[in-house]
Structure 1
């Protein structure tokens, strides 16, 4: 059985009862007008066909004296899918409000470790006739990009296509990818020497990256340069989630007029919304908030893989700047510098730089480790690419696709964006106690985009 790589195992070691390390995907589907009454029954039957379960969804963590206390992946050959996939009905009146309350409750419950680390709920009872699929996956299994590939890989752009599949079920055209190779002591030594060699060859680029992060002329925030904020506290187990989507064309128009990128505009929306929210809470720091922004090493591949492969950079959110145009300029300068820095590094070196960027965030979630005087960053803002076309599950249109991401001690708020069809969806996850009235951030996101649309060229 293969040992769990450190980039994946950190999500197992850092998990706690108040900070589970899983992500929930909220997908809402509209049934076609000619849908059969038994449509959801048939979908559920296929969702619980264990003979078609992907290998990656059979893995569960295990450790013993024989692994020296380290986690390894055990393959579960007797998965009971009725424990993993269940049907639920919303209470009346079945509004989106009731759905989001259910999502929040589902998100706050840790995954049991005596079986593979994922669960799903087929949720019925929405007042407009739609239904939802909630898929909870542990971050040790997949990063955000690979989660997205599994979530959408079984759907079709053809509304007449049938035999579409749930994220954990193999497709007819899919050849299951092998799990990661077993890592024994000899291979571990060989891999370590190889990684050390790559880092040595990248030493000049690493030195330049260090100057970018810590030098006096740096244009990106240094680790632990973020101000203390209301988001950097110990969290409770209770969660709240809110989400909405905006036209990608609106963001592109702003980007083209200002000479920035759509991603810069999305981050600037978050910055403007956070600034307004913190002013409302009388908690705006004098210095700018700093976001950790994950960057996938292979964001555009359509092949669904396993594990985590991403780098981390820090972004100046310019929340101390009242002018939306000036905020966007600072964000663009910060992200551009980070992209240039990462483009000079190989994957191993980028991972080393990411460890510096993340500072003590990983240690902060471990039991017994004291809180740092300053947070390594204030929150995570991530973006996951998806697909440009509308997708269908046996003729049911995927109308909404929202990410519900990780909230841990020291990071009480998380914003994750997913691009789908002509829209970009913002999923906001937070500690229910530490981030009051979290849903107000949706209003502020809309106001922030309108403000950016008014910025002159």
Structure 2
């Protein structure tokens, strides 16, 4: 019988609303030497590799009255050209135009009547480049039975030999009837009473999602069900004074910035911290400058609480087939501290507590994963962040190390890979970080209405690294 969603997965689906779409994305930029790459080559590449990610040809099947959780079934009318789309920027396309495109695409929910993913070929970028903008629902990526499509599209060889497996013909398995699904659900409940409880929880969670959607359509569930009920249904905490929290609109802004990994490593080596510590210090410094530029009150005690998923070696995190688990970790960012080096030391002290447990996974272990796995780990980080959605926090940050070697798709060289995180209800900003081939790529997703100055924040990140670098070099010269 088809695989049924687990209760926690039904919760993920319920919290996927018009204002908080539950998908994750990437913006991969490629350099090409000619006109050899086109839509037909992309279709051929994805068709060949879909056998490695069978979930990408399945859709959700809902039971009558939500008497049990939805199940995955093969899409008998699967249309690859519906999911793989072509777009173009007016030549020569700029990164600003690409960011506007990404913001529009990522704001739209995926069609639940079809497999929950889309890929856009964006042509016309200046410098003889093109982009692949991908979005996949969080349910597609569990790290055990399913990984992100991008992980199987990329190779570390420009012209790898064909393996023959991916091109195998695919034939959908016929769907079971409603009666068969209901009978199977009842029998499972008889054999395992815990499953019966899970089915009830799944039905209630589905109803919760419907209530959220209705509330959004009529202008917010707080007005219809009361403020406290609204917080409970949305999974958000009561109103906060943080400028990073608030009511989401249905529109998004997106921005990306890259920083040299070598600069981060120099700071790490001088202060005997980790690259992750330095990245968090850069984000803290960037947030400080940005908040002050907005006229927000920043005192020496101001702290931004970030959910920073960590890779661990025990079984208390989201299980994966990648050799580790992912668990949520709340990290205070001391944005009120004016000294960049003290900010770095404070962050390193806080992360050291996690490392001292002996559960942390070394970044080098993650980068040894076959293929290009950062998006899979980002998705798992977003999923486990939902475990602390009621805890007090201001934003989500995922930082995933990628391979420090050149990767290719259909022979075309990947030059940049920016993660795109979803916004959870009540949170106006999310930051994903991926390191790849000597660069560190920051992807910032923000609510379009609430954060109109996202470009100021990206420049503040650049300035924060420059400030840290300057002080580190001064220390090396004995001036600090």
* TM-score normalized by the length of structure 1: 0.75
Contact 1:226 1:377 in 2 (8 A): no
What does the per-residue CA deviation read over 1:38-76, in whole Å, with 9 as the maximum and x for residues that have no partner?
654333344356985731212322322486242332332
Q: SS at 2:17's partner residue?
A: coil
Contact 2:123 2:131 in 1 (8 A): yes
Equivalent runs, 1:126-141 vs 2, <5 Å: 126-141=125-140
Where does residue 388 of structure 2 map in the other structure? 358
Question: Matched residues in 1 for 2:354 and 2:149: separation?
Answer: 29
**How far is 1:160 from its partner?**
3.5
Where does residue 93 of structure 2 map in the other structure? 94
Residues 120 and 161 of structure 1: CA distance in aligned 2, closer, same or farther (over 3 Å): same
* TM-score normalized by the length of structure 2: 0.72
**How far is 1:446 from its partner?**
1.1
Question: Matched residues in 1 for 2:143 and 2:458: separation?
Answer: 22
Q: Tell which deviates more after alignment, 156-165 or 24-33.
A: 156-165
Question: Matched residues in 2 for 1:133 and 1:396: separation?
Answer: 12
Residues 320 and 265 of structure 1: CA distance in aligned 2, closer, same or farther (over 3 Å): same
Unaligned ranges ≥5, structure 2: 169-183, 198-235, 361-380
Where does residue 256 of structure 2 map in the other structure? 243
Equivalent in 407, 413, 428 of residue 412 of structure 1: 428
Residues 393 and 145 of structure 1: CA distance in aligned 2, closer, same or farther (over 3 Å): farther
Where does residue 199 of structure 1 map in the other structure? none
Work out the number of aligned pairs and report it.
388
Residues 148 and 100 of structure 1: CA distance in aligned 2, closer, same or farther (over 3 Å): farther
Contact 1:155 1:164 in 2 (8 A): no
Does 2:282 align with 1:269?
Answer: yes
Equivalent in 387, 403, 416 of residue 403 of structure 2: 387
Equivalent in 273, 277, 281 of residue 260 of structure 1: 273
Contact 2:39 2:86 in 1 (8 A): no
Where does residue 347 of structure 1 map in the other structure? none
Question: Matched residues in 2 for 1:259 and 1:94: separation?
Answer: 42
Where does residue 208 of structure 2 map in the other structure? none
Contact 1:50 1:80 in 2 (8 A): no
CA RMSD for the aligned pairs? 3.6
Q: SS at 2:125's partner residue?
A: coil
Unaligned ranges ≥5, structure 1: 173-181, 193-222, 345-350, 362-375
Where does residue 32 of structure 1 map in the other structure? 33
Q: SS at 2:87's partner residue?
A: strand
Equivalent runs, 1:73-92 vs 2, <5 Å: 73-92=72-91
What does the per-residue CA deviation read over 1:99-147, in whole Å, with 9 as the maximum and x for residues that have no partner?
1111111110100100111011111111322111111101122169999
Where does residue 415 of structure 2 map in the other structure? 399
Contact 1:154 1:164 in 2 (8 A): no
Equivalent runs, 1:90-169 vs 2, <5 Å: 90-142=89-141, 150-161=149-160
Question: Matched residues in 2 for 1:163 and 1:69: separation?
Answer: 42
**How far is 1:386 from its partner?**
1.9
Where does residue 333 of structure 2 map in the other structure? 317
Residues 231 and 298 of structure 1: CA distance in aligned 2, closer, same or farther (over 3 Å): same
Where does residue 22 of structure 1 map in the other structure? 23
Question: Matched residues in 2 for 1:160 and 1:32: separation?
Answer: 14
Where does residue 343 of structure 1 map in the other structure? 359
Residues 77 and 237 of structure 1: CA distance in aligned 2, closer, same or farther (over 3 Å): same
Question: Higher helix fraction: Structure 1 or Structure 2?
Answer: 2
Q: Tell which deviates more after alignment, 422-431 or 332-341.
A: 332-341
Residues 87 and 104 of structure 1: CA distance in aligned 2, closer, same or farther (over 3 Å): same
Contact 1:120 1:135 in 2 (8 A): yes
Where does residue 293 of structure 1 map in the other structure? 308
Where does residue 345 of structure 2 map in the other structure? 329
What does the per-residue CA deviation read over 1:348-367, in whole Å, with 9 as the maximum and x for residues that have no partner?
xxx9xx78971516xxxxxx
Question: Matched residues in 2 for 1:70 and 1:270: separation?
Answer: 39
Residues 90 and 124 of structure 1: CA distance in aligned 2, closer, same or farther (over 3 Å): same
What does the per-residue CA deviation read over 1:73-93, in whole Å, with 9 as the maximum and x for residues that have no partner?
233233111111111111344
Does 2:280 align with 1:280?
Answer: no
Question: Matched residues in 2 for 1:88 and 1:56: separation?
Answer: 25
Contact 2:159 2:410 in 1 (8 A): yes
Q: SS at 2:106's partner residue?
A: helix
Q: SS at 2:303's partner residue?
A: coil
Contact 1:142 1:305 in 2 (8 A): no
